Amino acid sequence: MKTTRTWGLLVCAYAALTCAGVASAALDVGVTEDAGKSGSGAAFFATLRDAGLKVNRISVNWNPAAPTAIPGQAEIAKWLPQAQVSGTRIVFAVAPDDAADLTATPDAKTKFVAFVAKLAQTFPAVKDYVIGNEPNQPRFWRPQYSPAGKPLAAAQYLPVLAASYDALKAKDPTITVMGVGLSPRGNDLPFGKDNRSRSPVRFLGDLGRAYKLSGRKKPIMDELAFHPYPQPRQGPPTVRYAWPTAGLANLNRIKQAVWDAFHGTAQPTFKETGKTFTRPLRFDLDEVGWQVQIPPSLAPMYHGAETPGLRLVSEATQADYYGDVIASVLCDPTVRMLSFFHLIDETDLDRWQSGLERADGSRRPSYDRVKQTLAQSHGTCQGPTVRWKHANGVVSPVAAWGNLRKPFPRRTRRWRFTARAAEQANFRAGIFKAGPKKAVLGKRLAKGRPRPLLYRQGVIKANRRVVYFPARRLKPGSYVFVIRMTASMNPKRASVLVSRRFRVRG
């Protein structure tokens, strides 16, 4: 599948916003790969350098049974100098071995934070830390919900992130602390049969509420780690996730969720167009990849069964997508780092075959595409800068009133219109006598008085909703439909829509 999009057009298409200006900071592109931890690492880092990749994020797992032991400490000490020589920035992603390790005992969080501090003291050359991994997924954090269905994960994760932030900054204020490692998926089903997870937008809302309740007056992260994997059908990077999940084409949705959660607190949010920030939050897109079909000649090198429901792409398509992914974020000043998952395939088919290299070390077309893209762009924006500003009202509110030009017969009893929003919103709708201005009508719906002639309230679930009013005749005269929507993630964001006048005949 051949794509011929230009970088500038890609940026605008992904962001769905106006573009202007020129981006200044270079994007760091790398891989999320643990394979380089074995041996001296010389060949591994030479490969990264050849491809133009400047970052390697590795996992360092904490074991509560040996809370002070750094796994692979001797190996890290051997290859870390090779990373420095090659100019590769190392990111430590620190997480517990098991999803319940940090909630199993009262002192687990304290021991984990001590481990993080020891890691920073042992390897002072490493200046970037991701704390945790996809805590909105039960595979990596349990419990997600209480027996009564209350979300728990974000509130339990917050003190881990906050204490780790403080410990790392105490060791070295120049360390960059990356929070969450957010999964793009989540079903918000506390009583579901399996995978009782939390969507990224709602998890960030939970995290913001926990932060405010904690009374903390300091940040909890310098950057937000986010994993914008494609959906299981593995369409192109332009495919958007449904709200409240999010992928690469929905970065603005995550930016808005962070703003809703932390605006007005000590935790910085993402830089907005036209605003000056001392140190705004930035993205580390530290896991993204498309899984490919394995060539029959290499099938013996892999084992197990492929993940059910996964649609594999061809190697040529993967190469196109990886070039598009880089192009899509080059001009977004909120993105500091992008890492492909992995450099080399995992051999278990139930895991990830998304590498730039196959299991035998041979290079896929994506290796050359990434190398070429980075060589041409040097990691800098080649077009207009992506602009973003938080929404003050509901995102993309729309109302379709129907044909109101023709007068309605006096006997009409059924009144309705359709409404839509790009996020979940609560609404109050009414039919009023025509005359008052929109602001006045919006206030009447917000306050609930004076009540409209006909009234309805409910929820728009990030989709189309038909608003039905109670069956009733209206007296002859002129009227308007009015709907006031408020964002479910932030009720302070409200939008009021008013129809044109319509008439009921006498």
Q: Residue 83 is part of a domain; what is its CATH number?
A: 3.20.20.80
Q: Among 27-41, 146-160, 481-495, which is the least confidently predicted range? A: 27-41
Please report the pLDDT score of residue 382 as a whole number: 85
Last residue of a domain, one of 386, 414, 445: 386
Tell me the per-residue pLDDT of 405-440, one tens digit each, with 9 for 90 and over: 999 999 999 999 999 999 999 999 999 999 999 999
Could you identify the residue written with the tokens 């709708």?
A: 429
Report the range of poorest mean pLDDT among 32-41, 216-225, 345-354. Answer: 32-41
Q: Where does residue 27 rank: exposed (0-12), middle (13-18), buried (19+ CB within 10 A)?
A: buried
pLDDT > 50? residue 14: no
Distances (CA, A) of 485 to 49, 416, 441, 460: 51, 16, 13, 9
Q: Using H for helix, E for strand and C for coil, what is the string for 73-135?
A: HHHHHHHHHHHHHHCCEEEEEEEECCCCCCCCCCCHHHHHHHHHHHHHHHCCCCCEEEECCCC
**Domain assignment of residue 481, yes or no:** yes
Q: Which amino acid is at 329?
A: V
Looking at the predicted structure, is the pLDDT value of residue 19 above 50? no
Residue 127: pLDDT band with limits 50, 70, 90: very high
Looking at the structure, tell me whether residues 494 and 350 fall in a common domain. no
Q: What local confidence, expressed as pLDDT, does residue 4 receive?
A: 36
Is pLDDT above 70 for 11? Answer: no
Contacts of 183 (CB under 8 A, 6+ apart): 134, 136, 137, 197, 200, 227
Answer whether residue 6 shows pLDDT above 50. Answer: no
| Residues 337 and 402 both lie in one domain | no
pLDDT at 18 over 60: no
Q: What is the CATH number of the domain that holds 460?
A: 2.60.40.2550
User: Same structural domain for residues 178 and 300?
Assistant: yes
Structural domain of 440: 398-504
Q: Are residues 148 and 62 in the same domain?
A: yes
Q: Which of 363, 386, 409 is the last residue of a domain?
A: 386
4 versus 188: which is more confidently predicted?
188
Same domain as 234, residue 173: yes
Residues 34 and 180 in one domain: yes
Compute the distance between CA of residue 492 and CA of residue 396 in angstroms, rounded to an integer: 16
115 and 161 part of one domain? yes
| Residue 125 and residue 66 share a domain | yes
The pLDDT of residue 15 is above 70: no
Residue 12: per-residue pLDDT: 39
pLDDT at 307: 87
Q: Could you tell me which residues come within 8 angstroms of residue 74 by beta carbon, excluding any fewer than 6 positions away?
A: none
Q: How confident is the model at residue 38 (pLDDT cuts 50, 70, 90)?
A: low
The pLDDT score that the predictor gives to residue 274 is 84
Supply the mean pLDDT for the chain. 93
Say if residue 216's pLDDT is above 70. yes
- 135-163: average pLDDT: 98
- Judgement on whether residues 378 and 421 belong to the same structural domain of the protein: no
DSSP element (H, E) containing 203: helix 200-214
Say what the pLDDT of residue 466 is.
Answer: 97
Q: Give me the number of domains the chain comprises.
A: 2
Q: Are 270 and 406 part of one and the same domain?
A: no
Neighbouring C-beta atoms of residue 460, cutoff 10 Å? 24
Mean pLDDT of 171-191: 98
Residue-level pLDDT at 40:
65
Cα 384 from Cα 395, distance rounded (Å): 24
Indicate whether 278 and 334 sit together in one domain. yes
Q: What number is the average pLDDT over the span 37-66?
A: 91
Is 60 exceeded by the pLDDT of residue 29?
yes
Residue 391, domain member (yes or no): no
**pLDDT recorded at residue 304:** 95
Q: What's residue 39's pLDDT? A: 61
Q: Which helix (H) or strand (E) holds 366?
A: helix 365-377
User: Which of the listed residues 361, 386, 411 is the one where a domain comes to its end?
Assistant: 386
Residues 236 and 87 in one domain: yes
